[in-house]
Amino acid sequence: MNQKKLLIIGFVWPEPNSSAAGGRMMQLISLFQKQGFQVIFASPAQDSDFMVDLSEFDVQKESIELNNSSFDSFIKELNPAVVLFDRFMIEEQFGWRVSENCPDALRILDTEDLHCLRLARQKAFKEKREFKVLDLLAEEVAKREIASILRCDLSLMISEYEIELLTTIFKIDAGLLYYLPLLLKREAIPELDKLHSFEERKDFVFIGNFLHEPNWNAVQYLKETIWPIIKKQFPEAVLNIYGAYPSQKVTQLHNVKEGFLIQGRAENANEVVEKARVVLAPLRFGAGIKGKLLEAMQCGTPSVTTSIGNESMQGNLQWNGFVADHPDTFVEQAIQLYKEKEIWLQAQNNGVEIIKNRYLKSLFEVDFSKQIQFLLSNFKQHRLNNFMGELLQHHTLKSTKYMSRWIEEKNKRSVS
């Protein structure tokens, strides 16, 4: 019997050491391999210096082209049982080709986070006004993203809040959505007595990929507003800022005298977070759940963040530190967490409880496997139940198809 195949079409090649998205993709690969799937990862992206070597994880790597019918013969020959689109932009590009050439393949979208939510919040922030959920209905990207979710058989969601938005604001059938947060192995539960103690740790730390706008904005906020207040009240304080892909505008913020140190990419992110006493993450817009804050919990490092930062992360459990949206409160709680050992230790324990109760792979893998098997066995009825999705598939397939064919012909003429 032939092994079932999973084709993942990636927006980029996975970089688990650069972003939570890269780590998330490797988790999904592992879940499907455990179900017995042979995994093929294809992407139109250029190779990068920090991409993972997929062959080490028994994953076949394939480069594909946008707007090129060579993909049609590739997927027809591959004949995967499941196709996973990494973000809605990839589903827009390749979904119609998958539907046309492998109509029986299960189509799954990994949203990463709800892009329209992140962009609507960013827009409201830049317009200096409060974000309202109805802003989503006016967000141009929402129309594309919701259409993509409807066209797929299942969309993987990492945030319960985003599921709530999709089902209430956009009236998406809950049967099309599946909650699957960032996943950790049992050995990721920190043994606190084996980590650096309160006394052995020093400095504040921020970590985040600088290509991600919410991270860059948070660093600007630290530099201009939060850090000057901390420094005034706590003159010996030092903040180390780590992140992949720092641009010149990031490195220009480095100031030894102010204790504001731009360190660039961390060779070992866990190591730098575990040596720090407190993580600062004053995120003012964004979506999804924050890999940097989950990583802090794994390292036994308490954090101070905003209500955007901890959104959908803790459930009904106590946070791994403090949550504050006003800069003065943020500063007060950051200094308190840094200086008061008992509060720090309690926050550290809170992080362990959050990991145990909300992020262990073992909590999700059996149910996820059942969900995939159910959809593989019942996809025809599942699609009949999703009439709006079938309607969009019908119309979008035609419009996207002819646009893509036009681009392909144009490209051929320009070459000849």
CA geometry: angle 203, 209, 210, nearest 5 deg: 95
pLDDT in tens, 161-208: 999 999 999 999 999 999 999 999 999 999 999 999 999 999 999 999
Mark whether 245 and 346 lie in a shared domain: yes
Residue 351 main-chain phi, psi, to 5 deg = -60, -40
Cα end-to-end span (Å), the chain: 45
In eight-state DSSP terms, residue 360 is B
Q: In whole angstroms, what is the distance from residue 60 CA to residue 10 CA?
A: 13
Q: 179-211 burial by CB neighbour count: b if 16+ within 10 A, else e?
A: bbbbbbeeeebbeeeebbeeeebebbbbbbbbe
Residue 47 pLDDT more than 80? yes
User: How much is the pLDDT for 407?
Assistant: 77
Mark whether 388 and 321 lie in a shared domain: no
Q: In whole angstroms, what is the distance from residue 303 CA to residue 290 CA?
A: 12
Q: What is the mean pLDDT of residues 347-352?
A: 98
**Which of 343, 360, 377 marks a domain boundary?**
360
User: How much is the pLDDT for 405?
Assistant: 72
User: How much is the pLDDT for 395?
Assistant: 63
Mark whether 330 and 223 lie in a shared domain: yes
User: How much is the pLDDT for 416?
Assistant: 59
Mark whether 71 and 25 lie in a shared domain: yes
Mark whether 351 and 215 lie in a shared domain: yes
Mark whether 156 and 213 lie in a shared domain: no
pLDDT grade for 415, boundaries at 50, 70 and 90 = low
In eight-state DSSP terms, residue 225 is I
User: How much is the pLDDT for 396?
Assistant: 60
- The answer to whether the CB of 164 falls within 8 A of the CB of 385 is no
Domain around 352: 188-360
Q: Name the residue among 152, 141, 40, 144 with its Cα closest to residue 95.
A: 152
Q: In whole angstroms, what is the distance from residue 100 CA to residue 71 CA?
A: 11
Task: Say which residue, 415 or 290, is predicted with more confidence.
Answer: 290
Q: What is the mean pLDDT of residues 314-343?
A: 98
Mark whether 122 and 266 lie in a shared domain: no
- Scan for tokens 């049967």, then name that residue: 175
Mean residue pLDDT across the chain: 94
Q: In whole angstroms, what is the distance from residue 148 CA to residue 124 CA?
A: 24
Residue 306 pLDDT more than 70? yes
Q: In whole angstroms, what is the distance from residue 139 CA to residue 49 CA?
A: 34
- The answer to whether the CB of 159 falls within 8 A of the CB of 312 is yes
Q: What CATH number is associated with residue 391?
A: 3.40.50.2000
Residue 18 pLDDT more than 90? no
Number of domains composing the chain:
2
**Which of 360, 379, 394 marks a domain boundary?**
360
Q: What is the mean pLDDT of residues 327-353?
A: 98
Mark whether 111 and 174 lie in a shared domain: yes
User: How much is the pLDDT for 346?
Assistant: 98
Mark whether 194 and 276 lie in a shared domain: yes
- The answer to whether the CB of 285 falls within 8 A of the CB of 263 is no
Q: Name the residue among 163, 204, 193 with its Cα closest to residue 180.
A: 163
Mark whether 49 and 37 lie in a shared domain: yes
Q: Provide the pairing of β-strand 106-110 with 5-9.
A: unpaired
Distances in whole angstroms, Cα of residue 192 to Cα of each of 198, 292, 297, 319: 11, 19, 10, 17
Q: What is the mean pLDDT of residues 134-138?
A: 92
**Which of 316, 331, 360 marks a domain boundary?**
360
Mark whether 194 and 207 lie in a shared domain: yes
| Contacts within 8 Å (CB) and 24+ apart, 226-233 | 226/280, 226/282, 226/327, 226/330, 226/331, 226/334, 227/258, 227/259, 227/260, 228/258, 229/327, 229/328, 229/331, 230/204, 230/331, 230/334, 230/335, 231/258, 231/259, 233/331, 233/335
CA geometry: angle 80, 7, 2, nearest 5 deg: 40
Distances in whole angstroms, Cα of residue 395 to Cα of each of 151, 370, 389, 400: 11, 31, 10, 9
User: How much is the pLDDT for 335?
Assistant: 98
Neighbours of 36 (CB within 10 A): 10
Q: Is 389 helix (H, G, I), strand (E, B) or coil?
A: helix
Residue 85 pLDDT more than 60? yes
| Contacts within 8 Å (CB) and 24+ apart, 119-127 | 121/285, 121/286, 121/287, 121/308, 122/213, 122/214, 122/285, 124/285, 125/217, 125/284, 125/285
pLDDT in tens, 267-280: 999 999 999 999 99
Q: What is the mean pLDDT of residues 342-357?
A: 98
Residues contacting 356, CB < 8 A, separation 6+: 189
pTM of the model: 0.92
User: How much is the pLDDT for 1?
Assistant: 52
pLDDT in tens, 357-411: 999 999 999 999 999 999 999 999 999 898 888 888 766 656 667 677 777 777 8
Residue 61 main-chain phi, psi, to 5 deg = -105, 130
Mark whether 136 and 41 lie in a shared domain: yes
Q: Is 158 helix (H, G, I), strand (E, B) or coil?
A: coil
Q: What is the mean pLDDT of residues 219-228?
A: 98
Task: Say which residue, 392 or 100, is predicted with more confidence.
Answer: 100
**Residue 408, H or E segment:** helix 387-415
Q: Name the residue among 27, 31, 30 with its Cα closest to residue 19.
A: 27
